Every structure is written in structure tokens, then in C-alpha cells.
Amino acid sequence: MIIKHKLRTIAAIATPPGISGLAVVRISGDDAIDIISKCFRDKSKLENIQSHTIIYGKIYENDRMVDTVTLSYFKAPNSYTGENVIEIACHGGLIIVNEILDLLYNLGAIPAQPGEFTKRAFLNGKLDLAQVEAVADIIHAVSVPGTRTAARQLKGDFTSRLQKLRLQLLDISGLLELELDFAEEGVAFVERNKIIELIDSTIEFCRDLYNSYRASEVLRSGFKVAIAGFPNSGKSTLFNSILGRRRAIVSEIAGTTRDYIEESLFIDGLKIIFTDTAGLRETEDVIEIEGIRLVNEILENADMILVINDLTYGENHSENLVKEISEKYPSNEILLLQNKVDLANIQPNSGLAISAELGTGIDLLKRVISEKASKSIERISDILINRRHYDLLIEAERSLNDARNGLENGMENELIAIDLRKATKILGELTGESWNEEVLDRIFSSFCIGK
């Protein structure tokens, strides 16, 4: 049950700073109309304003006209936040929009915190938590499919699906508890195999979702490709060749790259993040040691690792390195690249032959990467799973398994019902049926001001 909070009226700029045709200042709260009426000339228009209409007028600071604006009015509860909301569309740029905002503060509004408009929408029951997270994902989206998934999530289909499962679990817990009252008569209100069926389908629901975590991360932030290999194998040359510009320093001195360099490209609508790393070797150089330590972190977080072999030393020169990396990061896609094919007099049997220097094989490599990236998002369902969801789903699965084992081992109804109710509560946290301030703070800290 969400308690309606009485909160002060907030204001913020909702558009990005900089030169633009228009900018929007948003104000939300009980006093929105009152505050605007103190600086908007054409009072009669404002007094008669209808919800979901736009009026044109002028904003004044005392007797000085600040700007000509349009006001869009959304009367509570039919607004984004569920409160009275006015959006002031003024001229863009840095000066006017800030003057209007300062004016609103002087007249009684307070600065909105990051995501506070959306937080109020949640507190007023306009959006559930999964929808709130979808809003953040839409704003930060780096891929077309990611935006589409977030838009589906915003529509609320996921919430309805989840809600249905939760209600079924709650019904069953209720029936199991009811059976206790009739224990002496030995009445069973619900068949055991029906309960197991429902538990199994809920477990599958959880698994499907948490298995799409990696795909969701790719849609949310990009497909990460790390370039690794021995020093001088041509990693930085390849990095530059993929980007089509000279971004990293290339030299014939082994150990040129120390710190890692990250750049991204959009290939077929997906953001691909490439990272050039320090060459892997035994070294005494402290900076290089630190660079190599970072390589491990990068490889661990990568979706795909390109291991570059210098073909002039033979095609099996990096064999042990590939083996070591595959064993260390078994879930990562690993691709061996045989570089410097222009210098070597051999056509390798393993890996993809390229010349980072001359650009040979780079288009094919990009195609392979793009295919792997597309494949990695196949598992996506109707919600972008984030770390919070992932942890909750694992926890819910655990409780459901406990309930399932309990049923199979003839455990008492009461204990099974406890596990089922626990799973229901955890699943409820996904959409915010149950929530606490700490969870909300964490979610909204990633929002921008004005949203």
C-alpha cells in the first residue's frame, strides 16, 4: 500500500544544457499554479487554464520581461507525477532557462533532486518500479533494441505477468494455511502436483529473466570487446584500424600501451565498446604491472575477447595464452586473430587472418563481432534485467526451491506457505509492491535532474 506523500513543489530544467531552439522547465506540486501566477502575465488565461492545454504568455521578473513562453498544464492526478505539473517551454540557451528556474525558486519552488519527478510518479502510484527503471533505461539507452524493450517494460506488460504469478502463489499459500484448520479431517484444498506445477513455472519465469541479465547489460550499455595479446602483436594498430582513426599510440617498442583505452562504435544499431589493453608479459616495470592487472579486470567484464597473435612468430605462438584466457573466462566469447598476415609467409589454419596495418580482414572481423553481439541479445524478454532484478530473482528462486523440496519431503503446510509467501514478497520488490527508502535512493541516484 503506497501512502500519498505531501511534498513541496519542485522545479528543474528538463532539457539538456546548451544552445537549442527551446528549453523546458518543469514544475510539479500543489503550488505549481500559484507560483507561476506570480510571474506569468495574463492572469485571466492562467485562472481559466484547462488541464492538458497550452497557453501562450510572458514571464516577468518584477517589471522586466524574461521571455515569451508556452505553458502546458497537467492537473493532478492526470500528470506524469500525479501532482499538478506545468511545463514551461521557453527559448533555449543557458541564460533564459536558468533565469526562469531561479525565479521559480524565489517564488517558493525548491530544486528537484535527480529523478524526483519520476520518484513522485512512483509514490503516487503512476508507475511501478519496473516502469521507473524502464524510464531510466529509455533515457540512457544506447541501442535501438534496448529502447524498444524498455518501452515495452514501460507499458507495464511485465508487471501484469508478474502480478498474475504472485497472486497464484498467494492463493496457494492461503489454501495451504487453510488446510491446517482442517488438519484433523485430512481435507486437501489444493492438489500437490498443481502446486509443484505452479512453482516450476514460476522458477522458469525467474530463470528466463535472470538469464537475460547479460543481454540486458549489452542493450543497456553496449557489447564489450577487449583486445588482448602479447606486446607488439598489433593490438593498438587493430584498435585504430577498427575505429578508422589514430586513437592509440602504435610503436615497435614492446610495452607501448600501459593504461587501457576505450572507444565505442555503433555497428548495426548496437553500441560496441572496444578496449585496447597492455601487452601481456612478465615484467618488472611497476606501471606495466599495474596495466596488466587492469587487463584482467577488463577481460572479466568483456563479452568478447580478441586475442591477437603475431603471425610472424608462427600461428601457434599465442596458443597457451588463448588456453589460459579461455580457462579463466569460460563464459566469454574468444576469437583468435592471426595478425600481420602481410608480413608472414603463411596462411594460418586457425583463427581469422588479418593485417591490422593494411586493414585486411577488418570488415569481416566487424561482421563477426556484430553477429556475436546480435546473438548475445537474443535472450532478451520483455524487461531489461538489472543487477537489482537479478539478485531478487535468484533469491525468489531459492525460496521457491525450498517450498518445492518441502512439498516433496512432506514438510508441514505452514512452512511451505512461509517459503511461498517469501518468494511472493521478493517478486513484489521487482515492481515495487514492497520497497524501502534505500532501494528507492539507489534507483533514483542514477537519474538525471528534471526527470
Give the interface with ligand GTP as residue ranges (CB under 6 A).
Answer: 229, 231-237, 250-252, 254-257, 278-279, 339-340, 342-343, 355-357
Residues 6+ apart with CB under 8 A from 327: none
Taking the complex as a whole, the smallest distance from the CB of residue 284 to ligand GTP amounts, in Å, to 16
How many residues lie near Mg ion (CB under 5 A)? 4
Q: How far is the CB of 223 from Mg ion (least distance, A)?
A: 22
Considering the complex, state which of residue 81 and residue 257 has its C-beta at the smaller distance from ligand GTP. Answer: 257
Instruction: Identify the three-state secondary structure at position 287.
Output: helix
Considering only CA atoms, give the Rg of the chain: 29
Nearer CB in complex with ligand GTP: 126/235: 235
Of Mg ion, ligand GTP, none, which one sits near residue 233, judging by CB under 5 to 8 A according to partner kind? ligand GTP
Name the residue with cell 530544486.
111
Residue 248 CB, nearest approach to Mg ion (Å): 6
Return the number of the residue (343 or 364) whose C-beta is nearest ligand GTP.
343
| Cell numbers linked to 304 | 568478447
Residue 339, interface with Mg ion (CB under 5 A)? no
Q: Which does 162 bind (CB under 5 to 8 A by kind): ligand GTP, Mg ion, none?
A: none
CB-CB contact of 303 with 333 (8 Å):
yes
49 vs 226, beta carbon nearer Mg ion: 226
45 versus 317: smaller Cβ distance to Mg ion: 317
Q: Select from Mg ion, ligand GTP, none the partner in contact with residue 92, using the beta carbon and a kind-dependent cut-off of 5 to 8 Å.
A: none
Nearest distance from residue 114's CB to ligand GTP, in Å? Answer: 39
Identity of the residue, 276 or 303, whose beta carbon is nearer to Mg ion in the bound complex: 276
- The beta strand positions in 205-281, using DSSP E, are 223-229, 261-267, 270-276
Q: Map residues 233-272 to x or -, x wherever contact with Mg ion holds by CB under 5 A.
A: --xx-------------------xx---------------
CA-based nearest residue to 31, from 110, 99, 87, 84? 84
User: Order of strands, edge to edge, in the sheet holding 85-91?
Assistant: 40-41, 53-61, 64-74, 85-91, 22-28, 10-13, 110-111
For residues 100-113, one letter each, b for 16 or more C-beta atoms within 10 angstroms of the residue's C-beta and e for the rest, the string is bbebbeebebeebe
Q: Which helix (H) or strand (E) element contains residue 95?
A: helix 95-106
